[in-house]
């Protein structure tokens, strides 16, 4: 995936002289995760710019560049490193188009390596998607495969709106044989990664591969599991989401961010509101725990696993004639 992102940036720099890349160590070093490796040598230090360690200044500079006609692609080196830039992102980057009644667009891409699974510590493994998805004016997307990483990067750079591109760190080294192209699903479109009849797993980013593993393992239990990759977290593709759940009648939302106030709560609410009469069981979630990101030796317990997903699928209501609800205390059963 890191190579696909690198190729997308190189192709965008090659084809559009307005595109610039900036961030901490993106130039000479090529980025902590090598996503910008070789770009400074190829395109020069005026288009691939090493910045000071000042995230708020990086995004503020990108806003000014975009107002001047450039298309900046900003790297926040790690998820939690982006928090000092939060005010610039939410108060200015997200709002300037609305503030100017559409006169000033900010085509800025903010790349955020996010999530755990790499043996990192806190400040290096946050899943911060809910903060951005809660902010009107931002598009928030996350790829799950190398081919989609290339496609979404190219589409994000071509988008006139600011885009927060969340890159799942533990999938940086994932590989697939694929043609790298910007064609395919639109930036805000969800896709069905695996068709199934019995239950829909709704997920995104780093947990898509985990959900697919769980779907394969579920065959032995007699469940035919569908996997929907949201791809876009803001806006959410309600049409693909609801069409899947209406087919299967059951849904489990999977993400590694903490559950309380997480994106899974928003997805569960949308499913309940739009698919209520098609549901055969309550919508359930498999998430990270409501704790700061744990030390590396404990992260396997925090991250959604195949076993946790299958245990949750088993909790769905599978009986054709379920037992009646317990009678209220003191009441007689009919």
Residues 239 and 166 in one domain: no
Q: In what order do the strands lie in the sheet with 251-258?
A: 191-194, 225-229, 199-203, 251-258, 284-288
Among 136, 171, 206, where does a domain finish?
171
Q: Please, what is the angle between helix 306-315 and helix 208-218, to 10°? A: 60
When pLDDT is averaged across residues 58-83 and rounded to a whole number, the result is 96
For residues 40 and 93, what is the distance between their CA atoms, to the nearest angstrom? Answer: 26
Q: Which single residue is written with the structure tokens 């100017």?
A: 100
> CB burial class (10 A; 0-12, 13-18, 19+) of residue 116?
buried
pLDDT band at 325 (very low <50, low <70, confident <90, very high): low
Residues 97 and 217 in one domain: no
Residue 35 lies in a domain: yes
For residues 182 and 155, what is the distance between their CA atoms, to the nearest angstrom? Answer: 7
For residues 20 and 97, what is the distance between their CA atoms, to the nearest angstrom? Answer: 21
Residues 147 and 75 in one domain: yes
Residue 334 lies in a domain: no
Kindly tell me if the per-residue pLDDT of 321 is higher than 60.
no
Strands (E), 119-250: 139-141, 163-168, 191-194, 199-203, 225-229, 232-234
Residues 155 and 106 in one domain: yes
Closest CA to 205 of 223, 185, 227: 227
When pLDDT is averaged across residues 42-47 and rounded to a whole number, the result is 97
Residue 307 lies in a domain: yes
Kindly tell me if the per-residue pLDDT of 289 is higher than 70.
yes
Instruction: Give residue 99's pLDDT.
Output: 95
Tokens encoding 195: 């068709």
When pLDDT is averaged across residues 236-247 and rounded to a whole number, the result is 98
Closest CA to 208 of 259, 271, 264, 253: 253
Residues 235 and 131 in one domain: no
Residues 19 and 135 in one domain: yes
CATH number at residue 310: 3.40.50.920
Residues 198 and 164 in one domain: no
Residues 71 and 139 in one domain: yes
Residues 21 and 160 in one domain: yes
Residue 242 lies in a domain: yes
pLDDT digits (tens, 9 = 90+) for 138-188: 999 999 999 999 999 999 999 999 999 999 999 999 999 999 999 999 999
pLDDT digits (tens, 9 = 90+) for 117-141: 999 988 899 999 999 999 999 999 9
Q: Considering its fold, how many domains does the chain have in total? A: 2
Residue 9 lies in a domain: yes
ω into residue 20 within 30 of 0, thus cis?
no
Kindly tell me if the per-residue pLDDT of 278 is higher than 80.
yes
Residues 252 and 158 in one domain: no
When pLDDT is averaged across residues 189-205 and rounded to a whole number, the result is 98
Average pLDDT, the chain: 94
Residues 5 and 141 in one domain: yes
Q: Which single residue is written with the structure tokens 């951005």?
A: 132
Kindly tell me if the per-residue pLDDT of 206 is higher than 70.
yes
Instruction: Give residue 329's pLDDT.
Output: 47
Residue 77, CA distances (Å) to 30, 31, 35, 189 in order? 11, 8, 11, 27
Kindly list the catalytic residues.
124
74 versus 331: the higher-pLDDT residue is 74
Residues 91 and 25 in one domain: yes
Residue 328 lies in a domain: no
Closest CA to 265 of 138, 133, 139, 170: 133
For residues 115 and 205, what is the distance between their CA atoms, to the nearest angstrom? Answer: 9
Residue 333 lies in a domain: no
CATH number at residue 58: 3.40.50.970
Residue 106 lies in a domain: yes
When pLDDT is averaged across residues 299-311 and rounded to a whole number, the result is 96
Q: Which domain holds residue 281?
A: 191-315
């Amino acid at each position: 995936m890191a190579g696909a992102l690198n190729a997308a940036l190189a192709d965008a720099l090659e084809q559009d002289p307005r595109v610039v890349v900036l961030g901490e160590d993106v130039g000479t070093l090529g980025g902590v995760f090598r996503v910008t490796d070789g770009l400074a040598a190829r395109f020069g230090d005026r288009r691939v710019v090493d910045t000071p360690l000042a995230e708020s200044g990086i995004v503020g500079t990108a806003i000014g560049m975009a107002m001047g006609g450039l298309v900046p692609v900003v790297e926040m080196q790690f998820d939690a490193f982006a928090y000092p830039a939060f005010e610039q992102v939410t108060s200015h980057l997200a709002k300037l188009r609305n503030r100017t009644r559409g006169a000033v667009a900010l085509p800025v891409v903010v790349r955020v390596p996010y999530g755990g699974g790499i043996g990192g510590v806190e400040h290096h493994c946050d899943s911060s998607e809910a903060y951005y998805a809660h902010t009107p004016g931002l598009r928030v997307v996350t790829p799950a495969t190398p081919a989609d990483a290339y496609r979404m990067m190219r589409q994000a750079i071509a988008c006139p709106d600011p885009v927060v591109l969340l890159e799942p760190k533990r999938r940086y080294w994932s590989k697939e044989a694929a043609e790298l192209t910007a064609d395919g699903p639109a930036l805000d479109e969800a896709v069905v990664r695996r068709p199934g009849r019995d239950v829909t797993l709704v997920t995104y980013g780093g947990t898509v591969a985990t959900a697919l593993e769980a779907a394969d393992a579920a065959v032995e239990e007699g469940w035919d599991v569908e996997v929907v990759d949201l791809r876009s977290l803001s806006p959410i593709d309600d049409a693909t989401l609801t069409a899947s759940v209406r087919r299967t009648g059951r849904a489990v939302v999977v993400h590694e961010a903490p559950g309380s106030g997480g994106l899974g709560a928003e997805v569960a609410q949308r499913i309940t509101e739009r698919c209520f009469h098609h549901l055969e069981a309550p919508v359930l979630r498999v998430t990270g725990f409501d704790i700061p990101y744990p030390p590396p030796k404990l992260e396997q317990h925090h991250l959604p696993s195949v076993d946790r997903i299958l245990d949750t699928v088993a909790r769905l209501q599978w009986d054709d004639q379920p037992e009646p609800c317990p009678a209220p205390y003191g009441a007689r059963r009919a």
